[in-house]
């Protein structure tokens, strides 16, 4: 498809902006001005609408396709949450208005939404307090690690490393390292969880904390969490719960009750806010009481008379990790979602997410010859290694799936499973969709065995076939010229 | 149990699925987890129907002040958003998609990102741009980390004219990341203090952060200062306001190495602080040190043009603890809004938006200068924002005007000691002559009282 710049023609007007001139603009000396205007497209409004509508149709999305992308939780994003968060009374609020008058009197509605959301997340996770500022899961992790560091510094603890299992999301070690800690990686045992003996060996006085995802990226819940938490607390370390997979346990288990000290949640996963083609998301972080002083400022507080205010006076706070209060628009969507689910709905949702995953796993097990018989949580991982004799890789199955109108599951993650394929159906899908997925999988595996050449050509129904990524990296054509 | 909203499984299907799995209820699915971990209490209210939820949120939203006439900017601006921006960006095909890891099924997102990167290059006068970062503040932090990686030095000097909210963020991050942080206060005339920089350069300084127009709205030409920065073997990072780039000299032409900024003004609502749009651009020679997703053009086997995420060896899902940044998501939907906005407004329309902003600011400046006791804070050129000195505490004045329905500007004293009487006012195309006249008249009466 042509680029918007290739549709441009000189002098063609776009949207008419304000045309009222109220004074003779004082000329700014040339040395401060650019010599040429920016070469933005010159296209009519109708052409822009057609262009981006046509582009949108080139995408697979939750609204158009089954999207069982493991670890990403591509559940349905309720339209009502979009509408609620898009009310002009909310979107029109300037973030500095709370500083203009009475610490937030102008923005009581928005502050109440922040406050209520914090309370709901605290209750759902069993943690004392939440900050909504982090703008993604990874940002939440970094915030959590910074608080860990602040805690240890305040206590005079000399800590130098964080323990992370090898099945963790890549963001965990990256956050720990950027937060100033060395990373100690622990391999998984035969059950797919962090090897307990190797963990115990690695744990020591210098351990600042442990970052765990449970259920982990293999969809397996670590049954020895309590022991791990106790051991870590024994050296005054902190337990970090990566809540990327909170959607599996929502309403049933609370990280705080299990013994975790810090937990981030991905609102764009568990709480149904849209992924936006890659953000914006939100990664609020909850902490136990003893870590409250280190939370980022500002803090939303409710005063005795029921009004909301912003508190900046927290001497031990790690400071400003975001310009304001987080991705308010995303938080408002999650708030609307939690209100809609309610107490029973939270449990009902995680129940069904786990049921759908187990059902799919059970149905697909014979196809993949998977010998691991255990239950999974909300997602599961199979290996496509059995297809190698036919010259077929997991990637080829993924590409074949696109031709069948299904967005492929996550492939080649987690890294500790060869030819991994990671499937997460979510609660949004009905049984027919799951059964159809099984049929498609069976057909693709059959095709791999009988006519692998055809699968290697997939996808053929998309506007482009497999793209040359080596060429992209070598040519580095990163903008239109 | 009440029906669970947004879940697709019927009771009958659920039973059939239980049978397939050989279980009797949901609890059996969780049998491997020790019972002692189960939390019984969940103090969350009963679920609301869609209608009740909407009523509830509407009621809360109605407690916000929505009738204020706004002259408060300070880096975050109330621009007009053409209707087609919402109409297009709210297409489910865009907003319910994931990161384009399967390029054949994501060409819409990828091509839009490529078009966005092109627009950022053209606005800033730089060679390459990434596909976005969270916001202007985190983009600036990433820019600093990138410059320090490139120069292998550990100190950053930050100009006092850089948005103080960003400087608070930089302090927070640099403290935790063991980076040496220094600030150079602005000169008396409100811009970067050349002589102070000359004294501060040494061989530990790897990055210098400037902002143009700066927090006080002052315009500057930083070419010579950037030459000096380069002589000191440091990189120059410039934080910019994209709407000003309709007219203001580009950071590229001034020699900046890394450009970051807040793209909220390009079609995003103020939304009480987010989601916003961090943009970043640099010179081609530094691209491998740049964080964030980057989209590149390539071909399929038949020679058809297509787009992919490229240079991914920099990123955390490959590099883990060796990645250029721990941040894995960008804000693609916000970048999409920006490229839709820029396409709709177009080359001429963007110039016009800039002209309208300057026009209103210029008009207001002249009117304000006629008020007794009001003085310019700095005698410099501005684009759409400027600082004035009041004969009274600016916070009190603003507070009094808020009661009359006007957000007259941002009192900067909170962030700059000794500037308690300074008020920062911003103007966009949305403000009318009548609104400015009323604001000026009321300000005059508050000052006279």
Tell me: cis bond preceding A457? Omega within 30 of 0 counts.
Answer: no
pLDDT at A371: 65
Whether the Cβ atoms of residue B384 and residue B355 lie closer than 8 Å to each other: no
Q: B328 pLDDT band (50/70/90 cuts)? A: low
Q: B26 and A106: CB-CB below 8 Å? A: no
- Nearest partner of A71 among A413, A416, A420, A433, judged by Cα: A413
The rounded percent of chain B whose pLDDT value lies above 90 is 89
Distance, in Å, from the CA atom of A177 to the CA atom of A162, rounded to the nearest integer, reads: 9
Confidence of residue B318 (pLDDT cuts 50, 70, 90): low
pLDDT (tens place) for every residue of chain A, 481 residues total: 999 999 999 988 888 877 677 766 667 889 999 999 999 999 999 999 999 999 999 999 999 999 999 989 999 999 999 999 999 999 999 999 999 877 788 999 999 999 999 999 999 999 999 999 999 999 999 999 999 999 999 999 999 999 999 888 888 888 888 778 999 999 988 888 899 999 999 999 999 999 998 888 777 888 899 999 999 999 999 999 999 899 999 999 999 999 999 999 999 999 999 999 999 999 999 999 999 999 999 999 999 999 999 999 999 999 999 999 999 999 999 999 999 999 999 999 999 999 999 999 999 999 998 766 678 999 999 999 999 999 999 999 999 999 999 999 999 988 878 999 999 999 999 999 999 999 999 999 999 999 999 999 999 999 999 999 999 999 999 999 9
Considering the domain architecture, whether residues B304 and B415 belong to the same structural domain is answered as no
Binding-face residues of A in 388-447 toward B, CB within 8 A: 398-399, 402, 407-408, 410, 413, 427-431, 433
CB A323 within 8 A of CB A317: no
Task: Kindly report which listed range (A188-197, A296-305, B193-202, B404-413) carries the lowest average pLDDT score.
Answer: A188-197
Nearest neighbour of B94 by CB, restricted to A56, A319, A408 = A56
Could you say which of B340, B372, B399 is where a domain stops? B340
In a domain, B248, yes or no: yes
CA A108 to chain centroid: 29
CA dist., res. B429 & res. A15, Å (int): 14
| Mutation to test the A interface, candidates B41, B55, B57, most A Cβ within 10 Å | B57
Token pair of B194, please?
């050349």
Complex ipTM value: 0.97
pLDDT in the model for residue B323 = 59
Cβ–Cβ under 8 Å, residues B225 and B197: yes
Q: What pLDDT score does A416 carry?
A: 79
Question: Within an 8 Å CB–CB cutoff, is residue B381 touching chain A?
Answer: yes
Rounded Cα distance between B113 and B208, Å, is 29
Band of pLDDT at residue B230, cut at 50, 70 and 90: very high
First to last CA, chain A: 16
Percent of chain B with pLDDT over 70: 96
Residue numbers in A near B15 (CB within 8 A):
none
Looking up residue B316, the CATH number of its domain turns out to be 3.40.640.10
Q: Is the pLDDT of residue B359 over 70?
A: yes
Question: A175 to chain B: which residues are within 8 Å by CB?
Answer: 326
On whether both B385 and B290 belong to a single domain, the answer is no
Q: Are residues B136 and B185 in the same domain?
A: yes
**Does some domain include residue B34?**
no
Say if residue B1's pLDDT is above 60. no
Chain A touched by B379 (CB under 8 Å): no
Q: Which residues in chain B touch residue A345, judged by CB atoms under 8 angstroms apart?
A: 2, 4-5, 47
B211 and B315 housed in the same domain? yes
Query: Does B42 fall in a domain?
Result: no
Q: How far is A127 from chain B (nearest CA, A)?
A: 12
Across the interface, whether the CB atoms of B114 and A480 are under 8 A apart is answered yes
Which residues of chain B make contact with A88, given a CB cutoff of 8 A? 66
Q: CA of B54, closest CA in chain A: separation in Å? A: 6
Let me know if domain A81-341 sits in CATH 3.40.30.10.
no
> Taking CA atoms, what residue in B is nearest to A409?
B102
Cis peptide before A153 (omega within 30 of 0): no
Instruction: Indicate whether B138 belongs to any domain.
Output: yes
Least confident of A124-128, B7-11, B59-63: B7-11
Asked if A476 lies within 8 A of B333 by C-beta distance, the reply is no
**What stretch of H or E contains B205?**
strand B205-212
Residue B41 lies in a domain: no
What is the arithmetic mean of pLDDT over B274-302? 96
> What is the maximum alpha-carbon separation in chain A?
79
Distance in Å, alpha carbon of B202 to nearest chain A alpha carbon: 25
Indicate yes or no: CB of B104 within 8 angstroms of CB of A433.
no
H/E run at residue A238: strand A238-243
pLDDT digits (tens, 9 = 90+) for B214-225: 999 999 999 999
Q: Which of B340, B362, B378 is the last residue before a domain boundary? A: B340
Residue B116: domain span: 83-340
- Please report whether residue B11 resides in a domain: no
Residues B333 and B369 in one domain: no
- Report in angstroms the alpha-carbon separations of B172 from A179, B14, B167, B177, B207: 11, 50, 9, 9, 17
Question: Residue A165 corresponds to which tokens in the numbers above?
Answer: 């299992």
Residues B351 and B297 in one domain: no
**Residue of B342, B362, B360, B358 whose CA lies nearest to B350:** B342
pLDDT of residue B380: 66
* Overall domain count for chain B: 2
Same domain for B158 and B280, yes or no, is yes
pLDDT given for residue B316 in this prediction:
57
Closest-CA residue of A relative to B47 is A342
Q: For residue B143, is pLDDT > 80?
A: yes
Domain residue spans in chain A?
4-56, 81-341, 380-423+428-469
Distance CA B265, CA B355 (A): 15
pLDDT value for A26:
65
Residues of A in contact with B261 (CB under 8 A): none
Judging contacts by C-beta atoms under 8 Å, the chain A residues touching residue B320 are 170, 173-174, 183
Of B64, B301, B332, the CB nearest to A93: B64
Q: State pLDDT tens for residues B331-349.
A: 999 999 999 999 999 999 9
- Judge whether B391 is closer than 8 Å to chain A, CB to CB: no
The answer to whether position B187 is within a domain reads yes
Q: Tell me whether strands B128-129 and B278-282 are parallel, antiparallel or unpaired.
A: antiparallel
Q: State how far the Cα of A281 lies from the Cα of A274, in Å rounded to an integer.
A: 8
Mark yes or no for CB contact A20/B336 under 8 Å. Answer: no
A135 contacts B134? CB cut-off 8 A: yes
| CB–CB contact B273 A322 (8 Å) | yes
Residues of chain B in contact with residue A34, where contact means CB-CB under 8 angstroms, are: 125, 245, 247-250, 253
State the pLDDT at residue A157.
95
Report the pLDDT value the prediction gives residue A28, as an integer from 0 to 100.
86
What 3-state DSSP class applies to A47?
Answer: helix
Average pLDDT, chain B: 94
Q: What is the DSSP letter of A383?
A: E
Among B276, B310, B340, residue at a domain's last position: B340
The per-residue pLDDT for B251 is: 98
User: Distance, in angstroms, between A468 CA and closest chain B CA?
Assistant: 6
Subunit contact A277:B61, Cβ cutoff 8 A:
no
Region of poorest pLDDT, from A309-313, A351-355, B154-158, B325-329: B325-329
Cross-chain residue pair B299–A175, CB shorter than 8 Å: no
B408 and B425 part of one domain: yes
Whether residue B40 is contained in a domain is answered as: no
For residues B175 and B282, membership in a common domain is answered with yes
pLDDT of res. B321: 61
Residue B326 has its nearest CB partner, among A110, A178, A431, at A178
| Minimal Cβ distance to A280: which of B72, B117, B334 | B334
Which CATH architecture group holds A380-423+428-469?
Alpha-Beta Complex (3.90)
List A239's β-bridge partners, or say none. Answer: A210
Which 8-state DSSP code applies to residue B2? P
The predicted pLDDT at position A370 comes to 78
Instruction: Out of A28, A323, A479, name the one closest to residue B117 (CB).
Output: A479
Same domain, yes or no: B289 and B405: no
pLDDT at residue B315 greater than cutoff 80: no
pLDDT band for B32, please (50, 70, 90 cuts): confident
């Amino acid at each position: 498809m042509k680029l918007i710049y290739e549709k441009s023609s000189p002098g063609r007007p776009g949207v008419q902006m304000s045309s009222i001139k109220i004074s003779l603009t004082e000329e700014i000396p040339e040395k401060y001005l650019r010599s040429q205007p920016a070469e933005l497209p010159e296209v009519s409004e109708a052409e822009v609408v057609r262009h981006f509508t046509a582009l949108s149709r080139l995408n697979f999305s939750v609204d158009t396709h089954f999207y069982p992308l493991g670890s990403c939780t591509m559940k349905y994003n309720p339209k009502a949450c979009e509408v609620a968060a898009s009310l002009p009374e909310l979107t029109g609020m300037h973030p500095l208005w709370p500083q203009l008058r009475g610490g937030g009197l102008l923005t009581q509605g928005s502050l109440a939404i922040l406050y209520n959301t914090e309370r709901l997340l605290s209750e759902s996770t069993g943690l004392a307090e939440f900050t909504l500022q982090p703008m993604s899961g990874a940002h939440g992790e970094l915030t959590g690690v910074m608080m860990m560091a602040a805690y240890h510094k305040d206590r005079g603890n000399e800590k130098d490393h964080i323990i992370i299992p090898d099945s963790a999301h890549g963001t965990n070690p990256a956050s720990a390292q950027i937060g100033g800690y060395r990373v100690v990686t622990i391999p998984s045992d035969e059950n797919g969880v962090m090897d307990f003996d190797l963990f115990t060996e690695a744990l020591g006085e210098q351990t600042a904390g442990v970052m765990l995802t449970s259920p982990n990226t293999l969809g397996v819940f670590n049954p020895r969490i309590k022991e791990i938490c106790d051991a870590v607390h024994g050296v005054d370390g902190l337990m970090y719960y990566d809540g990327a997979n909170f959607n599996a346990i929502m309403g049933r288990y609370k990280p705080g009750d299990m013994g975790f000290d810090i937990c981030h949640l991905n609102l764009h996963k568990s709480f149904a806010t849209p992924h936006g083609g890659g953000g914006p998301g939100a990664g609020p972080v909850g902490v136990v009481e003893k870590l409250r002083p280190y939370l980022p400022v500002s803090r939303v507080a409710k005063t005795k008379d029921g009004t909301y205010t912003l508190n900046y006076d927290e001497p031990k706070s790690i400071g400003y990790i975001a310009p304001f209060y987080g991705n308010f628009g995303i938080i408002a969507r999650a708030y609307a979602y939690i209100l809609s689910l309610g107490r029973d709905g939270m449990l009902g949702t995680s129940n069904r997410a786990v049921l759908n995953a187990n059902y799919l796993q059970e149905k697909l097990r014979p196809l993949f010859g998977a010998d691991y018989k255990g239950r999974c949580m909300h997602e599961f991982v199979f290996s496509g290694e059995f297809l190698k004799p036919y010259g077929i890789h997991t990637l080829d199955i993924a590409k074949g799936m696109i031709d069948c109108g299904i967005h492929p599951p996550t492939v080649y993650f987690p890294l500790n499973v060869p030819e991994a394929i990671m499937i997460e159906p979510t609660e949004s899908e009905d049984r027919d969709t799951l059964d159809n997925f099984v049929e498609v999988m069976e057909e693709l595996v059959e095709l791999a065995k009988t006519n692998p050449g055809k699968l290697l050509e997939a996808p053929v129904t998309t506007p482009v076939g497999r793209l040359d990524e080596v060429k992209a990296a070598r040519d580095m054509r990163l903008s239109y010229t | 149990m009440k029906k669970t909203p947004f879940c697709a499984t019927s009771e009958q299907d659920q039973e059939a699925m239980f049978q397939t799995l050989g279980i009797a209820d949901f609890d059996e699915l969780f049998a491997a987890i020790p019972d002692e971990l189960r939390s019984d209490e969940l103090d969350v209210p009963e679920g609301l129907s869609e209608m009740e939820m909407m009523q509830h949120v509407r009621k809360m939203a109605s407690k916000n002040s929505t009738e204020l006439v706004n002259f408060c900017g300070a880096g975050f601006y109330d621009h007009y958003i053409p209707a087609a921006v919402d109409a297009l960006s709210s297409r489910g095909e865009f907003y319910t998609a994931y990161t384009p890891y399967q390029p054949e099924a994501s060409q819409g997102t990828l091509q839009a990102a490529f078009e966005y990167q092109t627009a950022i290059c053209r606005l800033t006068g730089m060679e390459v741009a990434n596909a976005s970062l969270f916001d202007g503040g985190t983009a600036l932090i990433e820019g600093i980390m990138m410059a320090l990686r490139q120069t292998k030095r550990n100190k950053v000097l930050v100009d006092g004219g850089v948005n103080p909210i960003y400087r608070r963020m930089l302090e927070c991050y640099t403290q935790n990341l063991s980076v040496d942080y220094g600030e150079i206060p602005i000169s008396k005339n409100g811009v970067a203090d050349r002589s102070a920089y000359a004294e501060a350069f040494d061989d530990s300084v790897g990055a210098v952060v400037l902002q143009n127009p700066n927090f006080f709205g002052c315009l500057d030409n930083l070419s010579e200062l950037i030459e000096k920065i380069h002589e000191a073997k440091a990189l120059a990072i410039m934080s910019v306001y994209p709407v000003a780039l309709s007219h203001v000299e580009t950071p590229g032409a001034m020699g900046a190495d890394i450009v970051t900024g807040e793209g909220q003004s390009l079609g995003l609502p103020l939304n009480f602080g987010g989601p916003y749009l961090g943009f970043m651009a640099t010179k081609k020679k530094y691209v491998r040190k740049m964080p964030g997703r980057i989209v590149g053009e390539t071909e399929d086997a038949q020679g058809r043009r297509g787009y992919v995420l490229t240079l991914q060896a920099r990123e955390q899902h490959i590099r883990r603890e060796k990645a250029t940044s721990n941040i894995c998501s960008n804000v693609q939907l916000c970048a999409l809004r920006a490229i839709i906005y820029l396409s709709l407004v177009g080359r001429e329309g963007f110039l016009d938006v800039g002209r309208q902003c300057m026009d209103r600011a210029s008009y207001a400046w002249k009117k304000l200068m006629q008020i007794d006791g009001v003085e310019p804070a700095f005698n410099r050129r501005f684009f759409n924002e400027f600082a004035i000195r009041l004969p009274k505490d600016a916070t009190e004045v603003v507070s009094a005007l808020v009661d009359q329905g006007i957000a007259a500007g941002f009192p900067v004293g909170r962030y700059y000691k000794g500037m308690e009487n300074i008020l920062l006012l911003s103007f966009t195309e949305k403000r009318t002559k009548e609104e400015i006249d009323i604001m000026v008249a009321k300000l005059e009466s508050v000052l006279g009282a």
